[in-house]
Each structure stands twice: as structure tokens, then as C-alpha cells.
Amino acid sequence: MPTQRVIQRARRDRREGKSPSTQAGEFVREQIDRIRAGKHGARSAKQAIAIGLSEARRAGVKLPPSKHASAQTRRKAKQDSAAVGRKPSRKRSQATLKALRRESTTTVSRRALSKQTKTAAKKRSASERSAAARKAVRTKGPAARSAAARKAARTRARKA
């Protein structure tokens, strides 16, 4: 169950005109924080992200499944979107949490998330990545844009 603070941050993102994936990012971030705090684990970084996206859909974020998603994932996304405002089953929630508590917490280490991000980025073309960056520029404020430019310069300097 996402915290009220996360739901409020996602709503603020929606008001600012940010994309559904940015809104859902708040839920994914919360899931990663929970795992790092040792509240439960996940089998992989991908699973942690999937849990966050599922929570986002159930909280009302209009997030469609990816273009490359399997039929099973599409069905789950549709089911999550339909469950907006519905109270989750207590028994099922407890069973899910019990199963997740048995999983590892190292799956969301910086290294594991970096590896997941790189493999996800490799599947996208250069033009897709460039278009995503251009879209991000439109919704960032001047301070965030400046910080992103500094970070990019630092990365380039490190690689050189």
C-alpha cells in the first residue's frame, strides 16, 4: 500500500504536466526504499519496478503497458487500472508480503539498478532515447535543467 506522501507527489507531478511514467516513478522509488530498508525483498530489480508500477496503476496513474509487454503483463496492467479505489484483500496482501519477505534485498543495490537501467536503455534506439531526453527538457524547470547539465558534464568528464 503506497503512503499518502507518495500519492501526493504523484498528483503534484500530474498537475505539473509530467508524463504518467514520471508519476509512476514515485511509486517505484518508494518500493526501492522499502526494499533497502529491509521491509521486504524482491527477486530482481525488474520485479521491484513491476510492483511499483502496479501500485501506481491501482492508485489511479493512467499508465498504459509498454509497447513490448507480453499478453500476461497487458492483462495485469488492465486489471490494476480497473482496481482503482478498490480495497485490496487483506489475506492476499499478507500472503504477498510474506512471500516478498523471503526474497533478497540486494536486488535493488546501486549496482543492480544500474545494470537493469543499462540493459533497458540498450533495447531502445538512439532516436528513442534522444526523443525522451527532449521531452524531459520541456517539463524540467531551469534549476533542474541546470543540475542535469552539470551531471551530464561530470559523466562525460569521467568517461573521457
Blockwise average pLDDT, block size 10, the chain, 160 residues: 90 90 94 94 94 94 90 94 90 94 93 93 91 83 89 90
Q: Provide the number of structural domains found in the chain.
A: 2
Please give the model's pTM, rounded to 2 decimal places.
0.80
Same domain, 106 and 142: no
Same domain, 75 and 10: yes
User: What was the pLDDT predicted at 91?
Assistant: 96
User: What was the pLDDT predicted at 2?
Assistant: 85
Same domain, 117 and 131: no
Reduce the DSSP state of residue 116 to 3 states and report it: helix
User: What was the pLDDT predicted at 18?
Assistant: 86
Same domain, 42 and 97: yes
User: What was the pLDDT predicted at 70?
Assistant: 93
User: What was the pLDDT predicted at 85?
Assistant: 84
Distance (Å, whole) CA 43 – CA 107: 7
CA-CA distances (angstroms) from residue 65 to 2, 31, 41, 69, 93? Answer: 20, 19, 24, 6, 23
Same domain, 15 and 34: yes
Q: Which domain holds residue 141?
A: 125-160
Same domain, 30 and 63: yes
Same domain, 37 and 115: yes
Same domain, 118 and 136: no
Same domain, 16 and 64: yes
Residue 41 near residue 102, CB atoms below 8 Å:
yes
Same domain, 105 and 64: yes
Same domain, 140 and 79: no
CA atoms within 13 A on the CB side of 110: 0
Same domain, 70 and 109: yes
Write the burial class of residue 16 (CB in 10 Å: 0-12 exposed, 13-18 middle, 19+ buried): exposed
Distance (Å, whole) CA 139 – CA 109: 28
